[in-house]
Chains A and B, each alone.
Chain A
């Protein structure tokens, strides 16, 4: 698929026409931001429709709808950035925000205009309104189904909450380098969370997923039932969990969502801005070994319909497949235009922003490790005493020291090569490059997560994906209570 003229037309009709603008008016808009001394400027138009439904106690008690939108105007001069935005998309707003953004530099030459080049990115999802895929009655029915399935699955389930949310987003980018691009980004998600109570103990289980497709697909895939059962299963496992061990030990991570390891341990450290500034533990290590042999990690915006996928990024660069680490050697950074230019590299389609009211930065899309050769059972069997972790709550990294954490929400002991008792949630901590050097076995069972990730950076949240095969790290610190 190539984004046809229809997508651009939709963006123009949605974003520009209501305020009396057209594509030609963007030339004038850009000229305000391209003040003397400015070497690049862009306009980012966005409109977002968001809907959320929440079920509790068997009833849909909350439902909400929001409409956001506006234009962000950025002017760059070398390493300087001026930025302003407005929630009005009008000629006056473009003039005001443009002049304000350009105010960062006061002297220099005016750039000549560039010929417009329409972005020809391949579509990674259908530009549809995902909210329209189901009727309100269908949405309520899905949530009630999740409630019934969870409650009938086990008598210990005392609380069930389920939520369905969707976003329909239309963006248009026009930049002084000639870029003109439009994208229509659907995003949906279904989630179930349960509380199980047994013998005075109370535990939570949760499951969910989604992606860049219609809400109708959530119904057709019967996710209400799948995630309800999965949430119940996890809560029941946690009811039996014993204290987690404390200290260094081998850790086996299951396939899929545990790929949050890669997001934290290497992903953030390979974002272009940190490396341009020399503040990442990976700075200056291009071409060097930063992980064990066999470890290949990529950032991939091109996967069809995935939560982190992008047909084009928020600077109008097409979404790409970017190898970061190949067979243990650092081979690539994730770049936006600014940092790529300052580092003499090419942009990789990783410029992302939470909204028109935020500045874009190099961000991950879907980050995953390619499959290896090992049998998952052999990986477990190779561990005398350690941890097998299959689900995680979240993570964080200090990109400068390389220290990262991620917190297990479902994990088990491995004793003499066998998975035994479930253990309580524990935080795992390590140093990115060191931990990646300790990857000793890689399964052939590469899987992506179900579509639940939100990555936060400088206060901006964006949807992302992760994935990996079953992995063994010879040593990682497990933060349990049993020392």
Chain B
């Protein structure tokens, strides 16, 4: 906005800085070296009660250097990618490598695995938007939400837009660059009745601003989500089916991926150690990764070690088909990298999908959860216990809002107890899924009344 972001120039600059760092590391005696560098620029505006509250301009850069000397490793980073800072980072990484122990698994990914295919993934769509226009959009969003009858107060609406470049290079001669953009608009509203205040929100997010939802629709949905929570009661304690809203179902996929991550596996800190080939989900469920999907949120042709990404299938017809590995964790486990250094990119589910109303009918009597609180997921055991908000369902119909209860179980049992997936797919993040219906979990609320 005030300063234009010249992405090609930034890319060129970062690439030359990365190459300088590699050359310097070699000169100082490193056997291998890798460098990540990035620069991001953006604007965020927030409005509340019809007035501008904040305007923030951000510009972040950073460089991270890892050197390998024999089987010793050292890392250093700086938020300044200037030449002096790069030299300091390389020198510091070399100094640290003198003190780390020998690690036979340490080192770059195999040279043969470096990405060679770099299709245009259509991720960079800068938004030519003045601060005034950004404010107008946020105001329109909040105003539409506040206009809904019953909304009494507002936490405001925020719009942020940003773009950036990241570069990864290593001493195999690999150098990869990516440009990307991200825009989002959110609104949080408050409603009040005799039982107290409730707040809820809605948001839209996309790489291309033309794919953002209409601002007024976001405001109205935030209002609807807030109003439907008024008058919440506590559910009865007992064992019931649980329907997870799409964004929360995405969280369950995240819990699964956390347990499939190489770092958790070689540390024996996962409930899915040594389980390849085992049935974990019903046979109608498969989960795969589409890292090259054009225009998607997390697309990339190479992972954070330069390895070519690929269409991994983690769950195939219910069975655990693949772990999620970097070359380091793969070496620790005696396996091959899956091109997942830095995580999974664009997870997609294949399963028969149902209309949400059909899932409610299938559930009969139970809880539909629309918000979860807290961190009560134990990745070592799979034990799951979280605070929740949602709706009580009887005879397949939504009865009334419920709050201040917990849902508890074990992820392994929850996965095998998956009985249906909704067609209400949430495509805002990198995990796309609809609602999940789990056959039974423990709900803790009021004492049993029946």
Q: Which A residues touch B239, using CB under 8 A?
A: 483
Specify which of B59, B78, B373, B378 is in contact with A66 (CB 8 Å cutoff): B78
Task: Determine the chain A residues whose CB is within 8 A of the CB of B198 once the complex forms.
Answer: 400-401
A87 cross-chain contacts in B, Cβ below 8 A: 60-61, 79-80
Q: How far is the CB of A43 from chain B (nearest CB, A)?
A: 15
Which of B287-295, B406-414, B416-424 makes up part of the contact surface? B406-414
Judged by a CB distance under 8 angstroms, whether A100 is at the interface is yes
B409 and A481 contacting across the interface, CB-CB below 8 Å: yes
A–B pairs, 12, beta carbons within 8 Å: A59-B101, A59-B103, A81-B54, A85-B58, A100-B2, A203-B380, A244-B408, A247-B447, A394-B374, A401-B229, A429-B387, A483-B237
Q: Does A104 contact B (CB under 8 A)?
A: yes
Known interface pairs A136-B99, A195-B380; A247-B56 also in contact (CB < 8 Å): no
A104, B43: Cα distance in complex, Å: 13
Interface residues of B in 1-60 (CB under 8 A from A): 2, 48, 51-60
Contact between B78 and A161, CB atoms less than 8 A apart: no
Contact A407/B48 with A281-B197, A479-B408 known, Cβ cut-off 8 Å: no
Are B268 and A197 in touch, CB under 8 angstroms? yes
Q: In the complex, how many residues of chain B place their beta carbon closer than 8 angstroms to a beta carbon of chain A? A: 81
A407, closest chain B residue (CB): B376
Interface residue stretch chosen among A309-317, A373-381, A419-427: A419-427
B69-77, B216-224, B425-433: which lies at the A interface? B69-77
**Cβ contact within 8 Å between B238 and A483:** yes
Cβ–Cβ contact A65 & B76, under 8 A: yes
B280 in the interface (beta carbon within 8 A):
no
Task: Specify which of B102, B373, B380 is in contact with A396 (CB 8 Å cutoff).
Answer: B373
List chain A positions with a Cβ less than 8 A from chain B: 56, 58-70, 79-88, 97, 100, 103-104, 136-137, 139-140, 158-159, 161, 195, 197, 201-204, 244, 246-248, 277-279, 281, 357, 359, 393-396, 398, 400-407, 424-427, 429-431, 477-483
**A80 contact set on B, CB distance < 8 A:** 51-55
Q: Least Cβ distance of A104 to chain B in Å?
A: 5
A479 B57 Cβ-Cβ under 8 A:
no
Residues of A within 8 A of B80 (CB): 67, 69, 87-88
B153 within 8 A of A: yes
Measured between C-beta atoms, what is the minimum distance from B185 to chain A in Å? 16
Interface string of B186-221 (1 = CB under 8 A from A): 000010000011110000000000000000000000
Q: Are B102 and A68 in contact (CB-based, < 8 A)?
A: no
A310 and B269 CA atoms in complex are apart in Å by 36
Query: In this complex, what residue of A is CB-closest to B103?
Result: A61
Contact with A along B92-132 (1 / 0, CB 8 A): 11001111111100100000000000000000000000010
Specify which chain B residues have a CB less than 8 angstroms from the CB of A481 in the assembled complex.
385, 408-410, 442
Which residues on B sit within 8 Å (CB–CB) of A70?
79
Q: Is the CB of A246 within 8 A of B78?
A: no
A61 touching B374 in the complex, CB below 8 Å, given contacts A398-B199, A403-B404, A477-B445: no
B93 CB contacts on chain A under 8 angstroms? 65
Bound Cα distance A201, B269 (Å): 12
- Docked complex Cα distance between A100 and B153 (Å): 30
B136 at the interface (CB under 8 A from A): no
Given the known inter-chain contacts A64-B77, A483-B238, A483-B442, please indicate yes or no for A394 contacting B375, CB distance below 8 A. Answer: yes
Which residue of the partner chain A has the closest CB to B51? A79
Please tell me if B88 contacts chain A, counting CB pairs below 8 Å: yes
| Cross-chain contact of B374 among A64, A83, A197, A405 (Cβ < 8 A) | A405
Please tell me if B397 contacts chain A, counting CB pairs below 8 Å.
no
Q: Is B383 an interface residue (CB 8 A)?
A: yes
Other A-B contacts than A393-B376, A482-B442, 13 sampled, CB-CB below 8 A, are A61-B100, A67-B78, A80-B54, A161-B267, A195-B269, A279-B153, A279-B155, A279-B199, A359-B54, A359-B56, A405-B373, A407-B376, A427-B408
- Cα(A202)–Cα(B79), bound, Å: 39
A246 and B75: CB pair below 8 A?
A: no
List residues of chain A with CB within 8 A of the CB of B172: none
Residues of B within 8 A of A81 (CB): 53-55
| Interchain CB contact under 8 A, B408 and A246 | yes
B381 within 8 Å of A (CB atoms): yes
Pick the 7 closest A-B CB pairs, nearest first: A479-B406, A59-B101, A405-B387, A405-B374, A246-B444, A427-B376, A407-B376
Verify if B228 is at the interface (C-beta below 8 Å from A): no
Q: Are A195 and B73 in contact (CB under 8 A)?
A: no
Q: Contact at A403–B51, with CB atoms within 8 Å?
A: no
Residues of B contacting A247 in the complex (Cβ-Cβ under 8 angstroms): 237, 444-448
Q: Are B190 and A400 in contact (CB under 8 A)?
A: yes
Chain B residues within an 8 Å CB radius of A67: 77-80, 85, 88-89
CB nearest neighbor in A for B97: A63
Question: Which residue on chain A has the smallest CB distance to residue B269?
Answer: A195
A281 to B192, CA, bound (A): 11
A28 to B406, CA, bound (A): 56
Known: A246-B406, A394-B374. A279 touches B442 (CB 8 A): no
Q: Closest B-chain residue to A137, C-beta based?
A: B99
Contact B99–A65 (Cβ < 8 Å) = no
Smallest Cβ-Cβ distance to A54: which chain B residue: B100
Complex CA–CA separation, A137 to B98 (angstroms)? 10
**B267–A425 touching, CB < 8 Å:** no
